[in-house]
Amino acid sequence: MNFLMKLRREIGRLLRERATWLFIAFTVAGAVWFCLNSNGTTATDAYVLTTAKNSAVLGALLFTLLTLIQFHRDYKNNTDTIILTCTDPLGHQLRRTLALLCAAVVTTLLVSLFALPYALIQTGSYFQLSAFAAAWYLVFFGALVLSILLASGLYMLLRRVEAAFIAMMGLITLSVLLESMYALNPSYQLFWVQTNAAAFSDLVNNQILIDLIVYNRLFCVPAAAAVWLLGLCCQRRYGRGIAGSFRGNARRIWPPALLAAVIICAALSYACEPLFDNSVAMDYGIDYESGTGMIMIVSSDEEEEDMAVTLTGKTVDLSVDTQRRTAAGTAVYTLQNTSGEPQDLTLTMNSGYTIQSASVNGRAVQATRDREEVSGSATWHIALPADETIRLSLSYGGRIQNDGSLSQTPVYGISDGYLWLPPDGVSPNAEVPVAEDCDFSARLTLDESLIPDFADANTQTVDTGDGKTTWVIKGTGYAGTGVIAAEYRTKTFQAGGLTVQLKYFAKQTAEIESMDAVNVIQAALDYFTDTYGALPYDNALTILELPASFSGGFAAGNTSAMDETCFAAAGYLPGEGSTPDEGSGIDTIVHELAHQWWGLATYPLSDDASWWSAEGITCYSTYCFMKEYFGEAYANAHFTDVWQDGWETYQNAFYVQHPEYLSKLSDDDASRVMAALHSIGLYDIMPLQLLEAEEAAGGQETFQSKLADLYQYNLCYYITYEDFLFMTELTEEALNIA
């Protein structure tokens, strides 16, 4: 009887067993239950990804049990000696593992019979086959395969069912617990059961997140196969121990050769994953992060700029290939070297790119790369001659990488239908002062369907054809810009004296038409303009929709961006309100719009002595608009009550009442503890203090007019807490809420 016939019989035997079908039934029932009781930020997230991830954990548990039962049965029934004497033991274990993998295939197909139509019905026109396949066939089926390989490998290695079971439970638990271990920032490749992919978008291609799953599986499968092959090589023979059995089994060359091959594969896969670089964690000094708003970073180390070389012009030509997921381009820099001596030019560029060639004033030069990567960027050096005017040409390209020292969820990347390139992913950034009259121009060639958005830049299309469109950006006084591009539709309207462009994903056209979001945005911009004054933009204000995986929003240049959940359609997700304004989505949109006044047009500067920052005044401004637009009850429920709860939590916080205990902690621990309380101060306490200020100033109208003076007087400048107190004619005591 050949191997295939034996395999067919083994599969038949396994699938005729009631216990096998019991485990399959439990796994399928669990998956159905998770489908029916799912939750998430988008429909695809709730009805596809989260469901598959939860089912993967359950499936891994159950298939571990099934595998151990199958492998332990011969030993338990004392039939192993008989079976292994009349058949090749390695072939026998291989067939048993393959039969279990067939059971996993059957389970996945049965789950798909429910999950596919259910996802189709629930997600409707937002259904993405690639997202479904990644969730159920890479995450769920992958977890079953990995649990079979690991459980059988550990059983063959340890020859103890309890020990193998405990080890497997430990590995499954570890995979789940890793999700909450933010401080350790574990690699995404270690989440072997459920992966760390989250918040699949309904509206854009999820290829960047799917990559995360693919590269996770590309490491996990060979790693699990290595454990299985190690177990196979250690399959006990002739009553020998592990080492003796390994030597005996190694007489056939294929098991140890295959073991070595999969170990090399796993190691290469781990080391060469292309999504994240090896950036070292950076000391940001004071770093205030907003959950929904902007991030303010005040560097603790002032970098000394080399004044000898100045950038006076830069031209970039970048072409993005969404099929190969790469970008390639050329950049020409015009530099003024006033030192009269040769200089070392430092360039920072995304870690995933390489400089293919460089020339200075027509002569080829060598570009050398530092080993260390920081904040997702690699540093390159080019030797400049003593010439006064230097023309540097670079040819570069590669695949975008993300900062590996931050969260293991990719933000930047290129996919078919969506891309986000940071400024140093568009062109290398020369670390020299930029002249005020520096001419910057960039040509960006994209797929025809993609519409780019550049923060603070005028854009025009110059050429369309061959399925590609070339976009041109021109500006003065800066030398780079990032780009976000997707299949955007634009709704243009007038608000606050500006032309506002709401750029939303094409798939959401019908929902945007039927939602109140446009009216709210228009009303908010009018309100803020009437109350505080006009924004200092000549060009249009852009409101940009981002994929759900961004989780929140940001404001930069003349762009306010927020993720797609802010525009969630009415009653769409489980547990959501029946209108958009019942959720927090519209609050986030207005919050990000308010940042245009507080944070971009002016820069409220935080200090160590107060909670003053852009966040507090932005929250207060949002509250004022919401009170006028939706009424006092809405504003109280969504803002003042939340602030009050935060204030009470802060007051009762142990380390606030007993600050002497902070000194008992190490500096890092004390900083971590206070960081949690710091956000309460920024987002809850400061807005409450501004309510006190409002009362002290004689009412909302009077206070708002003083804020308008503050805004107009400090337009394009920093606003300190002292500036605020001076302009509003208030004292710190007046803002005391204790």
DSSP H helices, 376-516, are: 423-426, 509-514
Q: Which residues touch 373 (CB under 8 Å, ≥6 apart)?
A: 277, 278, 279, 280, 351, 404
Q: Give, as ranges, the residues between 666 and 685 that touch another protein (CB under 8 A).
A: 669, 672-673, 676-677
CA angle, corner 171, sides to 134 and 250, nearest 5? 95
CB atoms < 10 A from the CB of 541, how many? 22
| Residue number with CB closer to another protein (171 or 693) | 171
- Least distance to another protein, CB of residue 282, Å: 22
Q: Give, as ranges, the residues between 174 and 193 that touch another protein (CB under 8 A).
A: 176-177, 181, 183
- Least distance to another protein, CB of residue 656, Å: 8
- Least distance to another protein, CB of residue 179, Å: 11
Applying CB under 8 A, the span of 454-462, 608-616, 665-673, 716-724 interacting with another protein comes to 665-673
- Least distance to another protein, CB of residue 673, Å: 5
Look at residue 375 and give its three-state secondary structure.
coil
| Residue number with CB closer to another protein (512 or 665) | 665
Taking CB under 8 A as the rule, does residue 258 contact another protein? no
**Which residues is 357 bridged to in the sheet?**
395
Among residues 393, 655, 705, 734, the one that binds another protein under rule CB under 8 A:
655
- Least distance to another protein, CB of residue 65, Å: 7
The position carrying tokens 């298939």 is 63
Element (H, E) at 52: helix 50-76
| Residue number with CB closer to another protein (185 or 357) | 185
Q: Give, as ranges, the residues between 31 and 60 that touch another protein (CB under 8 A).
A: 54, 57-58
Q: Give, as ranges, the residues between 63 and 102 that touch another protein (CB under 8 A).
A: 65, 76
CA angle, corner 562, sides to 556 and 566, nearest 5? 160
Distance CA 356, CA 596 (A): 40
Taking CB under 8 A as the rule, does residue 212 contact another protein? no
Two structure tokens written together for 256: 């140890």
| Residue number with CB closer to another protein (54 or 622) | 54
- Least distance to another protein, CB of residue 455, Å: 36
What percentage of the chain's residues is helix, strand, coil (to nearest 5)? 50, 20, 25
Applying CB under 8 A, the span of 158-166, 288-296, 346-354, 385-393 interacting with another protein comes to 158-166
Two structure tokens written together for 649: 């939590």
Bridging pattern class, strands 488-495 and 483-486: unpaired
- Least distance to another protein, CB of residue 158, Å: 9
DSSP H helices, 533-666, are: 585-594, 614-630, 632-635, 641-652, 654-657
Are 441 and 315 in contact by the 8 Å Cβ rule? The answer is yes
Could you tell me how many residues of this chain bind another protein (CB under 8 A)?
35
- Least distance to another protein, CB of residue 577, Å: 22
Residue 230, amino acid: L
- Least distance to another protein, CB of residue 11, Å: 24
- Least distance to another protein, CB of residue 263, Å: 24
Distance CA 93, CA 232 (A): 8
Two structure tokens written together for 234: 């250690």
Applying CB under 8 A, the span of 168-176, 198-206, 274-282, 567-575 interacting with another protein comes to 168-176
Check the CA dihedral 456-457-460-463 and report its sign: negative
| Residue number with CB closer to another protein (85 or 652) | 652
Distance CA 572, CA 580 (A): 10
Nearest to 134 by CA among 189, 199, 212, 210: 210
Taking CB under 8 A as the rule, does residue 661 contact another protein? yes
| Residue number with CB closer to another protein (239 or 465) | 239
| Residue number with CB closer to another protein (33 or 478) | 33
Taking CB under 8 A as the rule, does residue 663 contact another protein? no
557: phi > 0 → left, psi -120 to 50 → alpha, else beta; which?
A: left
Residue 611, amino acid: W
Taking CB under 8 A as the rule, does residue 637 contact another protein? no
Taking CB under 8 A as the rule, does residue 170 contact another protein? yes
Among residues 36, 121, 166, 286, the one that binds another protein under rule CB under 8 A:
166
Tell me which residues touch another protein (CB under 8 A): 54, 57-58, 61, 65, 76, 162-163, 165-167, 169-170, 172-173, 176-177, 181, 183, 649-650, 652-656, 658, 661, 664-665, 669, 672-673, 676-677
